[in-house]
Structure 1
Amino acid sequence: GNYLRRQPLPALPALYLLTPTVESVNRFLDDFREKKPPLYARAHLFFTSRISDALLAKIKNSAAAMRAIGSFKELNLEFALAEANVFTLNKPDALTTLFCDDANASVSALKLQEQHRIANSLATLFVALGDMPLIRFPSTAPRAAAVASVLQDKLDGLSRDAVGFPSRILTDAERPLLLLLDRSFDALSPLLHEYTYQAMVHDLLQVHDDRYKYSYTSNNNQKLSKEVLLNETDPLFVKYRHMHIADLGQRLHVDYKQFIAENKETADLNKGDQDMRAMRTGLQGVQRFQEQTGRYSMHISIAEELVKRYNGAGLEQISILEQSMAVGEEINGKPYRTAMADLRALLAKDDLLLSPEDRMRLVMIYMITQENIKQEDRRLLLEEAGIAPEDQVAILALFNLGVTLQQGVGARRKESKPAEKPQDTYDVSRYVPPLRRLMEEAATGALSVGEFPFVRAPTTLGMDQASSEVNSATGLNKLATWASSGSRAKTGTESGGGGGSGGSGDGGG
């Protein structure tokens, strides 16, 4: 394609950051074909994970490429840090691939490839951390089990190949825990409206790659707009991102007043009645003061916009219904038995302009949480909700996540132990995701080995599981420290001039 056409710079070296796939290798080789002027003077190759023997041989078979290669490294970096304690593999199509029907052999092959891609990316994470994890998965989740097994094989291979992994030898009680789940574990939580600051920002505002453009009024009453980053570069966003919107507005104003009080000399500069010493102290903090007041102003503006959209979209009515269906209780704690009638009444409201997405969310929540759903009731509900045929297919695909369209997951939910509900909750935020219970049990060593078996059990299951599983958080904290410090972990192999240690790898991009 045209996007591959680049200006030749034959006098300059080039750095290639590549995924170890056939496509990436072919594009690199095309830059250094025989009987064609090379695009660059030298090529320094950095692969995001281990390259397979077959692809390595393909590069070695190109004499022109071998002459051009100045260095070759396998970095083990097929993951991205979204936050200090959150990573992502950037695989948006994995859910569709892993949960589609096994129609034929080619579909099964695609699933196997996806399992290997995910496992390969997770392996690079633990190579970066330097620790061999204990891997656990739900006994009722074959897809998670398959990925867990492939991951263990890849990590075992890395530990045998003398690439410096693991970088330290830990006892079973010291090793980090990887709890590998798939979406069938909890199909409900992503559909519910969440009212913490960060969740509302991404649900209700136009945010792309953490960038948000907002409007404000300047001191001279001009309407201006500004693009800002809502991520960990903003300390106030980090401070408030997990706070409930009902608490956020007051907290912002209280903290802003405290900030003004702590920077009184700078805040009072415009009054002109300060002595020289106070003015000098105030002037020293002007830049920081302006930056911080700008941040407070921005977050107050965003919080006000979120509340405006919450009220304008009638989200209180929607969320109370969502929560009642999700927890199986009314606000007063009584059993909830009128989901169908309440949902139909909400869909029929003329004064409530439900978006197509909210209609789908409500219907899907109903399908997941309710039992004994008659086929005619389901058809009628889809019709009254105005769900387009192509969107109905997506709703019916909940079956692939373990949601039986007559029974929901209600029966399965009753069998499992619910997470303990916080004492102080809002009517629109009563549901507690089951992952919370899992994390609490993992941290205290109470996670059932029967429900969540190990891929490879610790040498002694009688070990203090609490000390083992509380380390599940340690790994990410270590990774966050590594990322923020800018230090480079020993995460790969390297050789000069185009050589390199091969190995079985499935790539992944």
Structure 2
Amino acid sequence: MNVIAAVKAYVTKITEESEPGMKLLMMDKETTSIISMVYSQSEIQQKEVYLLERITDSQNQSSTALKYLKCLVFLRPTAENIKLLCYELTRPKYGTYYIYFSNIIAKADIKLLAEHDEYEVVKEVQELYMDYLAVNPHLFSIGLPNAIKDLTWDSFALQRSVAGVVSVLLSLKKCPVIRYQANSKLCREFGMKVNDLINKESTLFAFGQNSQSLLLIIDRRDDPITPLLNQWTYQAMVHELLTINNNRVNLSKLSGIPKELSEVVMSAEQDSFYAKNIFLNYGEIGQNIKQLMDHFQVKAKSHQKIENIADMKNFVDTYPQFKKLSGNVTKHVTVVGELNAMVNKYQLLDVSEVEQEITSQNDHSGHLQEIKKLIDNEKVRPIDLVKLVILYTLRYQNHANNETQGLIEMLKRRDISSDLLMNIIFVLEYARSITRDNDLFNVEDAVKITKRFFKGLSGVDNVYTQHRPLLQEILEEIVKGKLKDNSYPSIGLSSFNNRAQDIIVFMIGGATYEESLSVHSFNRNHPGFKVLLGGTTIHNSKSFLEEVKHAVSNIPRKHTRKIRNIDCK
């Protein structure tokens, strides 16, 4: 179950099945993102696709006919796209059109296109099921932040998410048993919609199944902890501190960044160094870059001392020819250099250590003192302090000596804005808007995990990674055949064999790269199982707090009335 391979196979079908000759690829905004996740523009051009065009732009361009070009059309089957395509066919600029839709298209829309094809330029119309963003081989996203409004589905987001997950199932040729989180109305509604569409399009799902597959639908509210934590593996860390948007990282607002690095592509499909280091920790990445530096120093006969990431950046500036020899390494030296600067500037090692202790140890007095110490540290960012208080509040909300109110008063004395402080209330309302079987903090299991240290460059020691996402526990229950029917009932079945070999997990409210790492590790450690993770979006802590605010800001406060004196304006 590899979504990147599935999308690549479809793109090959689009570009190679038409007649040989010069081609143009016409897309919409979303299908452009779908393809750019797995192919660079230069790779597309190697497939005889010499021009790329956005369908909305085609209406405004010169009407000069280019009849020698074959137009490959790849669009989502939306009403707006059908309308634009009908207009294009009544005034065709290109010799022939090969039309591909990213999902199921209504028969009425096909009839409408046929009626507008007056010049008979359309040679083919096909459905190719890639209506999602393939992030990693085992990770996909619908690309929908803020899918939940007032604790109910946004109607567009629900329809779009159902279409996206159904296209994943079709692209992988899976007709799964559907199970959903019983305590979530969002999960049940989503599961019913997916099941209805599968039944409606039963002929498309008539696959010969070699193994039983499972679609498991879970709710982000059941684990609000994971998206709040600082991350220490490469992909997750870049997303947390710099933000990855469709495999791109915008560095233009950072000081001292050369123009050619104002936006960098972080794609394992197009970058071998990134592919090798994507799941490695911060210290290991630094070591791997340092080894490449050492190799070049031998060639350059340089004796410049390189001990840390700052030395690496100085070295690259001193030897510009290194850029030619290193390819993508210069990009990674820049990115890791920025990560390193932020870690040191904002005391993120200290912050992360306290975060991890709160999630895995039961020590109210100790945790409270550590948080107060960090609040008094002017170097620690307001957002990190607020997240620490959120974690403390979730952990100790029922503790007899809970001091959430006192911590909020300390934050206010740091002049932290009321908008930022309101996240404490929003997350607590969000977390408590769902009844759960599990403890948010599974201390007993976490204590058993040996503390792991990062070893590598100087200054990158003693960062704990004790936290385990709830998803990891759910997957282990599936392996053991112990996923409870009453907690995760199936749709349309009275009983179900728990031990499905192919498991597709979809998280309403967004997944994280920490959970992606858990799935990667699970697949490696359980060769008899294949797990694919998807979400309405891929969160870092900033986008998660936005998601939470969008979900609960208009909901009457039920659980946080004791928290006072936060200006709600």
Q: Which residue of 2 aligns with 1:380?
A: 409
Write out aligned runs for 1:438-457 (5 A): 438-457=474-493
Match of 1:422 among 439, 442, 449: 449
Q: Which residue of 2 aligns with 1:358?
A: 384
Which residue type is aligned with residue 208 of structure 2? Answer: R
Write out aligned runs for 1:156-195 (5 A): 156-158=199-201, 160-161=202-203, 163=204, 165-170=205-210, 174-195=211-232
Which residue type is aligned with residue 23 of structure 1? Answer: E
Q: Which residue of 2 aligns with 1:6?
A: 61
Match of 1:15 among 69, 72, 88: 72
1:319 and 2:339 aligned: no
Deviation at 1:127, TM superposition (A): 0.7
Which residue type is aligned with residue 273 of structure 2? Answer: L
1:398 and 2:435 aligned: no
The higher-RCO structure (CA 8 Å, 6+ apart) is 1
Q: Which residue of 1 aligns with 2:33?
A: none
Instruction: Indicate if the aligned counterparts of 1:177 and 1:471 stay in contact, CA closer than 8 A.
Output: no
Instruction: Indicate if the aligned counterparts of 1:177 and 1:468 stay in contact, CA closer than 8 A.
Output: yes
Instruction: Indicate if the aligned counterparts of 2:446 and 2:467 stay in contact, CA closer than 8 A.
Output: no
Q: Which residue of 2 aligns with 1:505?
A: none
Write out aligned runs for 1:161-310 (5 A): 161=203, 163=204, 165-170=205-210, 174-205=211-242, 209-211=246-248, 227=261, 229-232=265-268, 233-250=270-287, 253=290, 299=332, 302-310=335-343
TM-score of the superposed pair, with normalisation by structure 1: 0.68
State the distance in 2 between where 1:312 and 1:377 align.
Answer: 26
Deviation at 1:143, TM superposition (A): 0.8
State the distance in 2 between where 1:452 and 1:64 align.
Answer: 49
Instruction: Indicate if the aligned counterparts of 2:234 and 2:282 stay in contact, CA closer than 8 A.
Output: yes
Instruction: Indicate if the aligned counterparts of 2:490 and 2:496 stay in contact, CA closer than 8 A.
Output: no
Instruction: Indicate if the aligned counterparts of 2:56 and 2:84 stay in contact, CA closer than 8 A.
Output: no
Instruction: Indicate if the aligned counterparts of 2:395 and 2:441 stay in contact, CA closer than 8 A.
Output: no
Q: Give the percent of matched residue pairs that are identical in Structure 1 and Structure 2.
A: 19
Q: Which residue of 2 aligns with 1:100?
A: 150
Q: Is there any run of 5+ residues in structure 1 with no aligned partner, and where? A: 103-109, 216-222, 271-288, 330-334, 478-509
Deviation at 1:425, TM superposition (A): 2.1
Q: Which residue of 2 aligns with 1:280?
A: none
Write out aligned runs for 1:24-39 (5 A): 24-32=81-89, 37-39=91-93
Structure 1 residues 386-411: Cα deviation after superposition (integer angstroms, max 9, x where no partner): 4434445554332553337xx99998
Aligned residues: 416
Q: Is there any run of 5+ residues in structure 2 with no aligned partner, and where? A: 1-54, 303-321, 454-462, 504-525, 534-569
The structure number with the bigger radius of gyration is 1
Match of 2:100 among 46, 51, 54: 46
State the distance in 2 between where 1:209 and 1:362 align.
Answer: 29
Deviation at 1:195, TM superposition (A): 1.0
Deviation at 1:361, TM superposition (A): 2.6
Deviation at 1:295, TM superposition (A): 5.2
Structure 1 residues 310-350: Cα deviation after superposition (integer angstroms, max 9, x where no partner): 12211122222222322244xxxxx2335455434422333
State the distance in 2 between where 1:342 and 1:410 align.
Answer: 30
Computed over aligned residues only, the root mean square deviation of the Cα atoms, in angstroms, reads 4.2
State the distance in 2 between where 1:124 and 1:193 align.
Answer: 32
State the distance in 2 between where 1:386 and 1:20 align.
Answer: 49
- Where 1:179 maps in the other structure, the secondary structure is strand
Q: Which residue of 1 aligns with 2:514?
A: none
State the distance in 2 between where 1:122 and 1:366 align.
Answer: 35
1:346 and 2:386 aligned: no
1:365 to 1:292, Cα distance in 2 relative to 1, 3 A: farther
State the distance in 2 between where 1:200 and 1:456 align.
Answer: 41
Match of 1:149 among 176, 187, 192: 192
Deviation at 1:193, TM superposition (A): 0.3
Structure 1 residues 338-389: Cα deviation after superposition (integer angstroms, max 9, x where no partner): 5455434422333x141x4334433433343331467854763663454434
State the distance in 2 between where 1:15 and 1:120 align.
Answer: 23
Structure 1 residues 105-161: Cα deviation after superposition (integer angstroms, max 9, x where no partner): xxxxx6344323212111111111112122222222221222122112222322x23
Which residue type is aligned with residue 100 of structure 1? Answer: D
Q: Which residue of 2 aligns with 1:336?
A: 364
1:417 to 1:428, Cα distance in 2 relative to 1, 3 A: closer
1:29 to 1:448, Cα distance in 2 relative to 1, 3 A: same
Structure 1 residues 254-298: Cα deviation after superposition (integer angstroms, max 9, x where no partner): 6887x89xxx9xx6999xxxxxxxxxxxxxxxxxx9988555666
More strand by share: 2
Q: Which residue of 2 aligns with 1:474?
A: 530
Instruction: Indicate if the aligned counterparts of 1:211 and 1:230 stay in contact, CA closer than 8 A.
Output: yes
Deviation at 1:204, TM superposition (A): 2.7
State the distance in 2 between where 1:56 and 1:472 align.
Answer: 42
Instruction: Indicate if the aligned counterparts of 2:354 and 2:371 stay in contact, CA closer than 8 A.
Output: yes
> Which shifted more, 20-29 or 242-251?
242-251
- Where 2:374 maps in the other structure, the secondary structure is helix
Which residue type is aligned with residue 25 of structure 1? Answer: I
State the distance in 2 between where 1:40 and 1:412 align.
Answer: 61
- Where 2:72 maps in the other structure, the secondary structure is strand
1:251 to 1:445, Cα distance in 2 relative to 1, 3 A: farther
Which residue type is aligned with residue 351 of structure 2? Answer: I
